[in-house]
Amino acid sequence: MVVDPDGEIIYVYLPETLYEQYIRYQSVPDIALSIVILPALIQVLSYMVLNRGNDIDEQKWYMVIEKKIRSLDKDINDLFNEKISPLELAQMILENPVERSFNEIKGIVGIED
């Protein structure tokens, strides 16, 4: 998987076989989200930290992420100041995808709490 944030839109490139599997498993969206989107978002948040001050804050995707962070009552400077990690923030932005994935797996295999 390759994440390309250089431009107005972030592109996530998957090898053809992985892309086909991603499409095939859309019936389990939380699992697919955790496998593909979560790591891509973590990489983008890390990219934001590494490239702070390099005019990336003018990119549309940056503004969307920043707005989402504010909607969570968080400050993007907490990411820059390492008060919150890219992993923690990505999970908040995506509304706990790992937990939702485990719940989805429980539903598939029929496990009850």
82-94 pLDDT per residue, tens: 999 999 999 999 9
Question: Is residue 113 very low, low, confident or very high in pLDDT (cuts 50, 70, 90)?
Answer: low
The model's pTM is 0.90
Distance CA 67, CA 41 (A): 15
Between residues 106 and 71, the one the model is more confident about: 71
Distance CA 45, CA 39 (A): 10
